[in-house]
Structure 1
């Protein structure tokens, strides 16, 4: 028994060691609570529990390692450009349901991150951004007919939705950089009707083109025929007997100069023109 008691006494933790262990643990907890690491593309909003709440009059905490008082908190936000994918059902100008598939590129305004956290909270995308985009899309699409939406108005729609959204989010601490309309889906019956109408318009334009071309060709042939007729009339009026006789003499002279074998009978014929007999 004496040996056992002696062993217990030799291995007993000194009384001074226990408080040191407790103090060390408390220190580690405080140290852990007093540091925060903010990642790449992020920023932190400081909340002072004993000092007025959310800090809005100072720049956000940047990337890296920071010490904060253990009774304070840091709320981390992504400040890089982000993308919000939205599928919406909106109405056209004539009340038809249109399905719109769009992407919104946005980011919180860095300098106003404290105000965004204080006034809108961490759920600002659901509370603020989505309703603004949907409202802008409804307003813009409602100005157009299905034919316009289907044919050639996508770029105009994108621009107008962006402008409407930026107006709605003015002074709301969120920056909307771009809105891309990926797809505009119409009801099948409306889409088929529009495609038929477009085909008919194309066929009509093609027919008008062929008709115009044929009309121009007929006009060209008429002008050409009239030109030839006038030329023949002028030529007939200018060809007198003397002119013809002179032309005949010139032709005879030229033929006589040819090296080919020939027989020339002078003064033959009704008009006294030469007759040339020969072979090549």
Structure 2
């Protein structure tokens, strides 16, 4: 008998204790009335015959949606949406009292309204470009202004997997391809211009060097170089035939001297 009583006492104690884990907010609900006192972690004792413990997460939660968003030109853009939110600890009792445990449906409805207002001011292509961050931020601000007073904090709104209408997607791809082709052609033209400038500079350098060389070739210098050339020819052991005008064995006017080995 004592053993049975002992087991019953253990069972009652076990049923009378709820463990509240980190990231949870727990409240006692006695005879259907929810208490305002919130316990965030640890053990919570209650009378299992008259009271139960209600728990809600106060961590960051992710609400996934798959919706069609309207655009400025009247198109429907399919998108996967992530809404990051959390509940304010002190307002969890009022959320459950005023909205109920199905508060996620309220978040979804507020998102639909905010997204319709914001997205209708942007073109469909903006949702697939760098303006997506602006759209996300505006929707977040609108949602947070409506829900924060009730204790629901919107941390971020993320538009993922944007699917534009097929015709618009092709138009955007063609435009991007045209822009890439234009950039590539500009690069080719710039390269050609640089190459043309290089050839002009090279030609000017050759012309200037020839001009300087021609100005430096005085009759005296030509005579000295002719003597040097004849001396080099004379040192060779091979037979030579030198044709001149009969006056000089050196180079004469024009290029009339011929040597043959």
* Structure 1 contact 42–63 (Cα < 8 Å) conserved: no
Give the alignment partner of residue 61 of structure 2, picking from 69, 79, 82. Answer: 82
- Structure-2 change in CA distance of 1:278 and 1:43 (3 Å): same
Give the alignment partner of residue 199 of structure 1, picking from 162, 173, 177. Answer: 177
- Structure-2 change in CA distance of 1:83 and 1:270 (3 Å): closer
Question: In the aligned structure 2, how far is the partner of 1:75 from the partner of 1:241?
Answer: 115
Question: In the aligned structure 2, how far is the partner of 1:33 from the partner of 1:91?
Answer: 54
Corresponding residue of 2:75: 96
Instruction: Determine if the alignment matches structure 1 residue 145 to structure 2 residue 136.
Output: no
Give the alignment partner of residue 139 of structure 2, picking from 152, 161, 172. Answer: 161
For structure 1, the residue ranges without an aligned partner over 5 or more in a row are 1-23
Computed over aligned residues only, the root mean square deviation of the Cα atoms, in angstroms, reads 3.6
**Alpha-carbon shift at residue 97 of structure 1 (Å):** 1.2
Corresponding residue of 1:214: 192
What is the TM-score when the length of structure 2 is the normalising length? 0.74
Corresponding residue of 2:16: 35
Instruction: Determine if the alignment matches structure 1 residue 62 to structure 2 residue 41.
Output: yes
Q: Deviations over 1:231-254 (max 9, x none)?
A: 32232222221122234445667x
Give the alignment partner of residue 219 of structure 2, picking from 241, 249, 253. Answer: 241
Aligned length: 244
- Structure-2 change in CA distance of 1:227 and 1:163 (3 Å): farther
Corresponding residue of 1:15: none
Report the structure number with the largest CA radius of gyration.
1
Question: In the aligned structure 2, how far is the partner of 1:76 from the partner of 1:233?
Answer: 97
Corresponding residue of 2:245: none
Question: In the aligned structure 2, how far is the partner of 1:62 from the partner of 1:39?
Answer: 5
Question: In the aligned structure 2, how far is the partner of 1:198 from the partner of 1:104?
Answer: 31
* Structure 1 contact 33–70 (Cα < 8 Å) conserved: no
- Structure-2 change in CA distance of 1:270 and 1:123 (3 Å): closer
